[in-house]
Amino acid sequence: MKIGYFGFNNGPLGRPEVMASLLRAAEEAGFESAWTGEHVVVIDPQEPPSPVPPDFPILDTVASLSFAAAVTKTLKLGAGIILLAQRNPVVLAKELTSIDLLSGGRLLFGVGVGYVEREFQAIGVPYAERGARTSEHIEAIRVLWTRDKPVFDGRFTRFSGIQQKPMPVQKPHPPIIIGGMSPAGYRRAIVHGDGWYGFNQDESAAAESIEGLRRAAAEAGDPGRFDALEISVTPRGPMTADRLKRFEDLGVSRLILLPERPAQGADPLDAARRFIERSAQTLSIG
C-alpha cells in the first residue's frame, strides 16, 4: 500500500519554512507522496457546500508543487485535485510539464470538476459546463504531452501549428488521476484516467465507489479499463493497520492521509510532524 499525505499547502501549513520541513519529514518517514488541495477562491461568508471559512488560506497548487519539487528528492507530488474546468489547458499543460521536469518525473496529475457554483461564477466559467470542460481539457493536455505535432479541435479549446516543449519526463505522460464519487466521475475515470481518487471515504463508501468504477467500465464496453486503474482514497477517520488491510483487500492501492486539525494553540508543524511519525509507525512504512 502506498501512503500519501494530504493538504501540505493548506491553512497554517502554507508557509515556506513549514512546508519544507513537513515535506522532508514525510519523505524521511517513507511516505510515497504529498498532495495539495485546491480552491482558487472560497465563498465569503461561508455557505454550503463550501468546505472552509473565507479566511482559510490555500496556496496555489502549481506554485506549491514547484516548491515541493525543490525541497524533496523522492516524494511523488500530487495535485489533489486541480479543478480543471477553471483552468486554461494549454497553459496548465506547460506548467505541469515544468513540474514533472523539475522534479525528475514525480508529478501525479489529480483532476476534478469542482462542486461550488459561486467559485465558477467568480472565475467566469459556466458551472453547467464543468464536466464537459474537464473531460475535454484532459484530452487537450494529453495531446500536448504526447504528440510531436499537437492538433486539437474541441468545443472549448482548439490549436494546431504549435509546439510546446519540453515533453514531460514520465512516459507516455504523468498519471492522470480523476476524482469524483458520482456515476459521471466514475465514467470520466474509466474513459480518460489512469487512476481514480475518492476523498473522505470509509470502507463501505470505498467499496461502493469501486463497484461504481467496475460498472462504468462494463458500460463502456471495456472491463479491462477498471483493472488498469490505480485506486487512491483519503480515508475518513483515524487509520490503523487493520483498516489499511481492509482498504487493501478492497483493491485500494494508495491511502492519502488527511491529518486531524491541531488543537487550539498547538504548533501546526509540530502537530503535522507527530501525525507523520505516528502514521509511519502505526502503518509500518518507511
Which CATH number characterizes residue 114's domain? 3.20.20.30
- For β-strands 254-257 and 2-6, DSSP reports them as parallel
The pLDDT value recorded for residue 286 is 75
Residue 279 domain-assigned?
Answer: no
Residue 186 domain-assigned?
Answer: yes
Residues 6+ apart with CB under 8 A from 7: 13, 35, 36, 37, 258, 259
The pLDDT value recorded for residue 261 is 83
Domain count along the chain:
1
What is the residue range of 65's domain?
2-201+217-236+243-271
The string of DSSP codes covering 114-154 is ---HHHHHHHT--GGGHHHHHHHHHHHHHHHHH-SS--EE-
The pLDDT value recorded for residue 263 is 82
CA-CA-CA-CA torsion sign (142, 201, 49, 58): negative
- The percent of residues in the chain predicted with pLDDT above 70, rounded, is 100
Residue 132 domain-assigned?
Answer: yes
Q: Identify which has the larger pLDDT, 265 or 15.
A: 15
Residue 256 domain-assigned?
Answer: yes
Residue 142 domain-assigned?
Answer: yes
**Tens of pLDDT along 21-69?**
999 999 999 999 999 999 999 999 999 999 999 999 999 999 999 999 9
Residue 283 domain-assigned?
Answer: no
Q: How confident is the model at residue 276 (pLDDT cuts 50, 70, 90)?
A: very high
Rounded to 5 degrees, what are φ and ψ at 248? Answer: -60, -40
Task: In whole angstroms, give the CA distance from residue 5 to residue 258.
Answer: 6
Task: In whole angstroms, give the CA distance from residue 129 to residue 142.
Answer: 20
Q: Are 111 and 81 in contact (CB under 8 A)?
A: yes
**Tens of pLDDT along 251-269?**
999 999 999 888 888 899 9
Mean pLDDT in residue range 188-208: 97
Residue 250 domain-assigned?
Answer: yes
Query: How high does pLDDT run on average in the chain?
Result: 97
pTM (two decimals): 0.96
C-alpha separations of 46 from 43, 49, 51, 56, 119 in Å? 5, 9, 8, 11, 12
CA-CA-CA-CA torsion sign (90, 134, 170, 233): positive
Residue 103 domain-assigned?
Answer: yes
Cell numbers at 35, concatenated? 498532495
The pLDDT value recorded for residue 182 is 96
Alpha helices in 51-111 (DSSP H): 61-71, 89-102
Q: What is the largest CA-CA distance in the chain?
A: 56
Cell numbers at 166, concatenated? 519540453
**Tens of pLDDT along 94-152?**
999 999 999 999 999 999 999 999 999 999 999 999 999 999 999 999 999 999 999 99
